[in-house]
Amino acid sequence: MNSQQIKDSKKNQQIKTGPIMAALLIAGFVGLFSETALNIAFVELSHIFNINSTTVQWLATGYFLTLGILVPVTGILMQKFTTRQMFITSVTLLLVGTVLAALAPTFSILLVGRVIQAAGLAINLPLTQNVIFTIFPPHKRGAAMGVMGLVMLAGPSLGPTIAGLLLDTLSWHYIFWVTVPFLLFSLIFGLIYLVNVNEIRDVSIDVLSVILSTLGFGGIVYGVSIAGVSGWTSTVVIGSIIVGLIAIILFVTRQLRMKDPMLNLKAFRYPLFILGVLMSFITFFNMLSMLVLLPMYMQMALLIAAFTTGLILLPGSLLNCILAPVIGRLFDQYGPRAIITPGTILVALSYIAYTQFGTDTALWVIVLAFVVMMLGVGAVLASVQTNTLNSLPKQLYPDGIAITQTIQQVAGAIGIAVMVTVLTAKQNSYLIHVANEPAKAAASGSSQAFTISLILAVINVILSLFLKRPKEIIK
C-alpha cells in the first residue's frame, strides 16, 4: 500500500459512512416519495381548488420540469460549493417546499411549494451519488448504490399507497406533513456527521450554458409532459420539443468548445459509460411509466379502488426494499453481468405477463408479476448506475452523475407521456371501432403500451450482454 492509499484509508476511517448515508438517503426518499404521492389526490385537489384536470396536472409536470432544468447544473455546482453547503441547501429547499405545500391556501402556492421541493431533490440525487463514489472504494460501491436504489424505487412506488391511506383517514395536507419529521432528522444528522468530501475548484458558471441547458432539457420535458393533455400534434408541444432539441445541440457544441465546460462531455469517450446511459434511459422510461400505467389499468379495467391498488403493489415494493442491499453486495462480489443480465430477463418476463392482462385477470397474478418486475428492476437499477460511473475517472464523477441523473429524469417524463398517450389512443380506438366497453378498452390500451415496454426490455437484455467490470486503473 503506497502513501496516498494509506492517507485515503485514514481519511475514510474518520468518515462515519452510516450516518452520512442516512442523512442523504432519508432526504432523497422524501423527495422521491413526494414525486408520486400527490398524484393520487389530483381528483380531490381539482374539486377543492376548483380547477380542471389539465391545470392540476401541473403539480406533476412542474416537478419533472424543475428536475429536468436543475439536475444538469449540479455537475458544476458540486465542484464550486462544499458538500455541506449543497446538502444544507438541498434539505432546506425540501423542508421549505414541503411546509409551504402543506399550508397552501391556493393552487398557485401549492404549485410553488412543489417546485421548491423538486429543486431540493434535484440537488440531493446527484449529491448522494457523488458522496457514495467519494467515500466508498470501488469494491464497496455496489452495496452502497444498492441502498440508494432501494430509496429510488421505494419512494415513488410507496408514495401512492401511503398517500391513499392518508387521504382515506386524514386529508391531502398530511401527504406533506408526514414527511416533515424525516426531513428534520435528515438535516440534524447531516449537520452532525456530514463532512466535506468533494474537491472545490475555482470554476465559473457560464450563463449561456445554463440558459441553453434550461431551454434544452426544460423544453423537452415540458413538451412531452403536456402532450398527454394537449396532444402530440399541438403547436405548443411540437414547438417546445423542437426548441429543446435545438438548445441541446447548441449546448453540446458549446461544451465541446469550452476550456472549462459547465458539463464535461468527455464522459462519452468511455464505451461502458455510453452503454450504461442507454440502459438507464430504457430502465427509467419503463419503470416510471409502469408505475403510472399499472395503477391506471387496475382502476379502469379491473375497477379497483386507488388504495386497494396501492396495497396490491405493496409486496413487490417491500420485497425490493429488503433485497436491494443484498443485490448490491452480490454486484460487488460477482460483477455486473452476473446481476444485471438476470435482472433484465426478469423485467422482460414480467412485461410478457403484463401484455396478457385483461378484465378478468386474477389479483394474485398481478401481485406475482409485480414482485418479479421489482426484483428485476432492483437488480438492474442501482447496478447499472454503479457500473456506469465506475467506468469514469474520478475527476469526471460530478459530470457523469449530472449526465446520468438528467437522462433518467428526461427518460421518466418521456416514458410517462408516451405510454399514457399510447394507452389512451388504443382505448379510444377500441371504444369507437370495437365496442363501447370502457373496461375492455382500458385493458386493450394497457396491453398495447406494455407491448412497447416489452420490446424495450428485450433490448436491455441484449445490451446487458456487453457489460463488463471497468478496469480500476483509470481511477
Give the pLDDT confidence score for residue 13 in this predicted structure: 45
What is the separation of C-alpha 433 from the centre of its chain, rounded to a whole number of angstroms? 37
- The model's confidence at residue 5, banded by pLDDT at 50, 70 and 90, is very low
Flag whether pLDDT at 346 surpasses 70.
yes
* Residue position matching grid coordinates 423542437: 242
Flag whether pLDDT at 464 surpasses 80.
yes
**Of 402 and 53, the one with more pLDDT:** 402
What mean pLDDT is predicted for residues 306-313?
76
- Please tell me the number of Cα atoms within 13 Å of 419 on its side-chain side: 29
**Of 338 and 455, the one with more pLDDT:** 455
Give the pLDDT confidence score for residue 195 in this predicted structure: 84
> Distance between CA atoms of 372 and 286, rounded to whole angstroms?
15
Give the pLDDT confidence score for residue 455 in this predicted structure: 96
Give the pLDDT confidence score for residue 38 in this predicted structure: 81
> Distance between CA atoms of 402 and 67, rounded to whole angstroms?
11
**Are 144 and 136 within 8 A, CB to CB?**
yes
Give the pLDDT confidence score for residue 4 in this predicted structure: 45
Closest C-alpha among 203, 161, 116 to residue 398:
203
What is the separation of C-alpha 238 from the centre of its chain, rounded to a whole number of angstroms? 25
What mean pLDDT is predicted for residues 165-188?
88
- The model's confidence at residue 1, banded by pLDDT at 50, 70 and 90, is very low
pLDDT per residue as tens digits for the range 152-161 = 777 777 777 7
**Of 125 and 43, the one with more pLDDT:** 125
High-pLDDT (> 70) share of the chain, % = 94
Give the pLDDT confidence score for residue 472 in this predicted structure: 52
**Are 235 and 116 within 8 A, CB to CB?**
no
Give the pLDDT confidence score for residue 54 in this predicted structure: 63
Measured CA to CA in angstroms, residue 447 lies from 285, 351, 420 at distances of 17, 9, 12
pLDDT per residue as tens digits for the range 71-97 = 778 777 877 888 898 999 999 999 999
High-pLDDT (> 90) share of the chain, % = 23
Most confident listed range (2-6, 106-110, 210-214): 106-110
**Packed helices 58-70 and 207-230: angle between N→C axes, nearest 10 degrees:** 150
Give the pLDDT confidence score for residue 53 in this predicted structure: 61
**Of 87 and 65, the one with more pLDDT:** 87
> Distance between CA atoms of 37 and 84, rounded to whole angstroms?
28
Residue 161 CB contacts under 8 Å (≥ 6 apart), including other chains: 307, 310, 311, 313, 314, 317
Average of per-residue pLDDT values in the chain: 83
Categorise residue 358: left if φ over 0, alpha if ψ from -120 to 50, beta otherwise.
beta
Most confident listed range (50-64, 191-205, 226-240, 267-281): 267-281
> Distance between CA atoms of 6 and 3, rounded to whole angstroms?
5
- The model's confidence at residue 14, banded by pLDDT at 50, 70 and 90, is low
Give the pLDDT confidence score for residue 177 in this predicted structure: 93
Closest C-alpha among 156, 180, 160, 24 to residue 101:
180
pTM of the model: 0.80
Flag whether pLDDT at 407 surpasses 90.
no
pLDDT per residue as tens digits for the range 218-274 = 888 888 877 766 778 889 889 999 999 999 999 889 888 888 787 788 888 888 999
Measured CA to CA in angstroms, residue 234 lies from 57, 223, 242 at distances of 17, 9, 12
What mean pLDDT is predicted for residues 293-302?
83
- The model's confidence at residue 12, banded by pLDDT at 50, 70 and 90, is very low
Residue 171 CB contacts under 8 Å (≥ 6 apart), including other chains: none
Dihedral sign for Cα atoms in the order 144, 73, 273, 394: negative
pLDDT per residue as tens digits for the range 21-30 = 888 888 988 8
